[in-house]
């Protein structure tokens, strides 16, 4: 799907998603883990994602383990419940990025419909049903979402919960005025969260030098 900044074109069918896996394997890649994310919102394409998971994990399909699959979402609350009720113990990654609804609404359109407390409640249900720890993706924008108030609020939201916060440096794109997050900023933020008792790690980004990191490749392809 091409969504938001480039406009929605269409959703991929289950067959098209599966073909991406087989195409890579025909190029001599051994696929052992799959992350469903990137261009568009996977849970907006729920029926095809469900079919894809069912086929790719079937013994007559690719026979992958459910636990080798991660589905990403911006936090479609009703669909998180639906995904949990499928009975698949796949991994769930939620693009949170902000600790406060006000900030999230300003930068993420989905924040106007889905509140953080409701997303977390749905994710707690997901953990209860699947026994799979939820990962919260958090793109760090220096001076915007790594302030003291953000750290304190993340502690309020997650202290004592079996979750993982995946810290991601911002990759610059033309439509967004903020610069790439520096390594020392990432390290300091991670250390402060860890001191609060939160499980937070940094995902080192690769490919930004050729505009191929997360959030960049989509724009180049669209152009």
* Tens digit of each residue's pLDDT (9 = 90 or more) over 33-56: 999 987 789 999 999 999 999 999
- Say if CB 119 and CB 94 are below 8 A apart: yes
Query: Rounded to two decimals, what is the model's pTM?
Result: 0.87
Q: How many Cα atoms within 13 Å fall on the side-chain side of residue 123?
A: 29
Task: Return all residues near 221 (Cβ < 8 A) that are at least 6 apart.
Answer: none
How far is residue 17's CA from residue 20's CA, in Å, rounded to a whole number?
5
Long-range contacts of 50-56 (CB under 8 A, 24+ apart): 50/86, 51/14, 52/14, 52/17, 52/18, 53/86, 53/88, 53/90, 55/14, 55/18, 56/18, 56/21
Residue 155 DSSP symbol = H
Tell me what the pLDDT averaged over the chain comes to: 89
Q: Is 127 helix (H, G, I), strand (E, B) or coil?
A: helix
pLDDT single digits (tens) 149-170 = 999 999 999 999 999 999 999 9
Residue 179's Cβ-count burial label (10 Å; 0-12, 13-18, 19+) is exposed
Q: What confidence tier does 20 reach under pLDDT thresholds 50, 70, 90?
A: very high
**% residues pLDDT > 90 (the chain):** 76
2 — pLDDT class (breaks 50, 70, 90): very low
Residue showing tokens 């568009």: 40
**Under a CB-based contact definition with an 8 Å cutoff, are residues 180 and 137 in contact?**
no
């Amino acid at each position: 799907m091409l969504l938001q900044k480039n406009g929605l074109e269409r959703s991929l069918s289950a067959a098209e998603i599966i073909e991406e896996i087989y195409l890579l394997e025909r190029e001599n890649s051994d696929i052992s883990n799959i992350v469903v994310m990137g261009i568009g919102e996977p849970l907006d394409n729920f029926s095809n994602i469900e079919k894809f998971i069912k086929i790719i994990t079937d013994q007559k399909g690719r026979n992958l383990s459910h636990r080798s699959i991660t589905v990403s979402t911006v936090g479609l609350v009703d669909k998180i419940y639906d995904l949990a009720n499928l009975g698949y113990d796949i991994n769930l990654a939620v693009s949170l990025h902000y600790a406060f609804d006000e900030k999230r609404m300003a930068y993420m359109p989905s924040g106007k419909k889905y509140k953080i407390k409701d997303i977390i409640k749905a994710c707690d249900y997901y953990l209860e049903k699947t026994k799979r720890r939820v990962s919260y993706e958090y793109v760090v924008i220096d001076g915007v979402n790594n302030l003291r108030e953000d750290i304190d609020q993340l502690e309020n939201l997650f202290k004592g919960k079996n979750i993982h916060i995946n810290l991601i440096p911002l990759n610059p794109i033309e439509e967004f005025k903020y610069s790439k997050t520096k390594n020392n900023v990432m390290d300091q933020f991670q250390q402060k969260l860890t001191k609060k008792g939160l499980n937070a790690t940094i995902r080192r980004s690769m490919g930004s030098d050729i505009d191929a990191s997360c959030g960049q490749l989509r724009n180049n392809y669209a152009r």
